[in-house]
Amino acid sequence: MSDLSSELDSGTYPLLSAIHGPADVKRLELFQLPHLAQEMRDYLIKTLAPIGGHLGAGLGVVELSIALHRIFNSPHDRIVWDVGHQAYPHKMLTGRLQQMPTLRQYGGLSGFTKRSESEHDPFGAGHACTSISAAYGMVVGCDLTQMDRRVVAVIGDGALTGGMAFEALNNAGASRRRMLVILNDNEMSIAPNVGSMSAYLARLISGRSYTNVRDATRKVLEKVPLAYEAARRLEEHVKGMVTPGTLFEEMGFRYFGPIDGHDFEHLLPTLQNCSELDGPMLLHVVTRKGFGFAPAEEDPETWHGLGPYNLETGEPLSSHGKPPSYTQVFADTLADLADTDKRIVAITAAMPGGTGLARFAKRHPERCIDVGIAEQHAVTFAGGLATEGLRPVVAIYSTFMQRAYDQIVHDICIQNLPVLLCMDRAGIVGADGATHAGSFDISFLRSLPNLTVMAPKDESELADMLATALQLDGPSAIRYPRGNGYGVEMHTPKALPVGKGEVREEGKDGLVIAVGTRTREALQACEVLRKQHGKHLTLINLRFIKPLDSALIIKHLHTGKPLLVVEEGCAEGGIGEAIAALAVKQGWHGPFVHLGIPDAFPAQGTQAEILRDLGLDAAGIEAALRRALDL
């Protein structure tokens, strides 16, 4: 951080270092804006090299961020960024430049927009497809409180694969209230060709002259309904020949674009025109993800979000020598199982790389389906596949599986369909913080009838659980953490006895029940207490969150001896509560300790830092056991 701070002070970034807020952006001359954009890109690339982050999306919206803060008046005007990983340049322009090296670090800036971090972040975002709904809420709120604000929502084209975005467009378009939606088309998926004609048309139809003529003509023709309808259709057909915005026009939005999102000569006048118009508007801006950094432009998926990288070569820093990640083990095992079981179909919600299914797709491309940012659809779609005799596997991060809860209940569990839900990033995720923590899956899944829920202690057991789940006649779920495994020896996956835990250690001084990867940490704590104090504890690797191995737990309960349950999920509604209730029914009356994520959203930082703070690492488990054993 000190090196970058000194560069800001040394004159390396003369324009950027003078930006302390949006007012400073407005003071620059027009010819200086491209130079500011270049300085911002250079600084962002250097900042993220040692710490990682969402680089590609930020590089793609530098000019757009500058233009927004030049035309609109944040924080009075509201600028809502979808997901938030596009917002790094926005943070740089809103007083957080000096703190950028702390992005996603313990105690540092959030990797997403966050209301408590800045008045320029009117809405926090960690999940996609939320910006239009939130922005429209602000528009209505301003109308009801008679507050004159302009409200802008910036949404990537990928987020338009989510139904929530269309629900919001439908509602906002019908209202006729003033708001601007900017479609940041950074995958070229909607408009592969952007030229001077479309840019000219965008400036023309967003301008006052065209608007005034259009409105005056409408008022005259409204008195002759047939003529008005003919004119309206003619305008739509003419615009439809040169712009792809007919869909948005039909939903009630005035469509402008597509325009080059890296060209200030196109951006600024069009944004200025849009800021002066009434009603719902959608501006289609085409950008290039990773713009200005060749590795990110050539491989936008890898450079969407990544760890530290070599600043000179752009190569991600090697993880050579580390055990495979749980994600890799999941994908490779599933691909192996699919070699012999042709019923297996893998489904991802716009995260083929993050969930590992890109690896699966290389071997079974016809059986790997990306549905876009549409978790609800993914789960019900899987249910449909299951009715036809297939074995669908839905791989979604734990935090995003929350979005499909209703579908899990109604479309999968009630019908008892053999769908496997694989929840990557369960538990503490680290740098992405509260929005991405997989805190709640145990609580929201263990109450559902027909569902089998598993958590592996290591990567080998994950492979076994995949084999187990694919033999079940009903729905199942496996939760596993972010990061690398332990490097344990792998074997051919074998099905586990359903609902049966595993005794790792036996002793008469108390009982420790661990869920998932907390088993390894609990084992270390038990070993310390045995060596230092001669205490012999029984340690159970629960394996199955549901059905609960009640018989095994009851067998090892000792009246009056401590009982400790440790899970990397929220304590409220967690498996610890079920085990405590079981123990009480059996007449157990000793000390009870439940370690889990407390009734608060976890902070950001490395996984080790957050687990340490929550007392969920080996040292924290050991300390809790010492207290329970009165040592």
**282-310, pLDDT tens digit by residue?**
999 999 888 888 877 777 777 777 778 88
Average pLDDT over residues 398-426: 97
Contact 64/261 with Cβ under 8 angstroms?
Answer: yes
User: Which one from 96, 254, 403, 543 is the annotated catalytic residue?
Assistant: 403
CA atoms within 13 A on the CB side of 501: 26
Three-class SS string for 555-594?
HHCCCCCCEEEEEEEECCCCHHHHHHHHHHHCCCCCCEEE
Above pLDDT 70, what percent of the chain? 89
Residue 231 has pLDDT above 60, yes or no: no
DSSP output for 367-415: GEEE--S-HHHHHHHHHHHHHTT-EEEEEEEHHHHGGGHHHIIIIIITT
Q: Which fold, 502-628?
A: Rossmann fold (3.40.50)
527 has catalytic annotation? no
Residue type, 474: G
Residue 402 has pLDDT above 60, yes or no: yes
**423-433, pLDDT tens digit by residue?**
999 999 989 99
Residue 23 has pLDDT above 50, yes or no: yes
DSSP output for 316-381: BPP-TTSPPBHHHHHHHHHHHHHHH-TTEEEEESS-TTTTSHHHHHHH-GGGEEE--S-HHHHHHH
567 has catalytic annotation? no
Handedness of CA 156, 158, 159, 161 (dihedral sign): positive
Contact 136/172 with Cβ under 8 angstroms?
Answer: yes
- Better-predicted residue by pLDDT, 578 or 187: 578
The number of beta carbons lying within 10 Å of the beta carbon of residue 465 is: 28
Which has the closest alpha carbon to 392: 321, 352, 453, 338? 338
What is the C-alpha separation between 253 and 272, in angstroms, rounded? Answer: 17
User: Which one from 41, 149, 203, 289 is the annotated catalytic residue?
Assistant: 289
Average pLDDT over residues 355-364: 95
Angle between helices 196-206 and 264-275 (to 10 degrees): 20
Identify the band that residue 197 occupies on the pLDDT scale cut at 50, 70 and 90: very low
Q: Dihedrals φ, ψ of 514, to 5°?
A: -115, 145
Average pLDDT over residues 335-339: 97
Q: Pull the structure tokens for residue 43.
A: 């600084």
Domain boundaries, the chain: 2-298, 327-479, 502-628
What is the C-alpha separation between 167 and 156, in angstroms, rounded? Answer: 16
Average pLDDT over residues 499-511: 96
289 has catalytic annotation? yes
Residue type, 307: G
- Better-predicted residue by pLDDT, 322 or 147: 147
Q: What is the pLDDT at residue 308?
A: 85
| DSSP classification of residue 300 | T
From the options 1.10.540.10, 3.40.50.970, 3.40.30.10, 3.40.50.300, give the CATH code of 2-298.
Answer: 3.40.50.970
Residue 194 has pLDDT above 60, yes or no: no
Q: Dihedrals φ, ψ of 195, to 5°?
A: -130, -175
Strand order in the sheet with 280-286: 78-81, 151-156, 179-185, 280-286, 254-260
Distances (CA, A) of 224 to 217, 220, 234, 299: 11, 8, 15, 55
What is the C-alpha separation between 135 and 154, in angstroms, rounded? Answer: 9
**519-541, pLDDT tens digit by residue?**
999 999 999 999 999 999 999 99
Answer yes or no: same fold for 2-298 and 502-628.
yes
- Bridge partners (DSSP) of residue 369 are 347
Which has the closest alpha carbon to 100: 20, 1, 191, 13? 1
Contact 120/87 with Cβ under 8 angstroms?
Answer: no
Window from 73-87, 232-246, 374-388 with minimum mean pLDDT? 232-246
User: Which one from 39, 249, 375, 459 is the annotated catalytic residue?
Assistant: 375
Mean pLDDT, rounded, of the chain: 89
Q: Pull the structure tokens for residue 220.
A: 């005259």
Identify the band that residue 213 occupies on the pLDDT scale cut at 50, 70 and 90: low
Query: Looking at the domain that runs over 327-479, which CATH code has it been given?
Result: 3.40.50.970
Identify the band that residue 215 occupies on the pLDDT scale cut at 50, 70 and 90: low
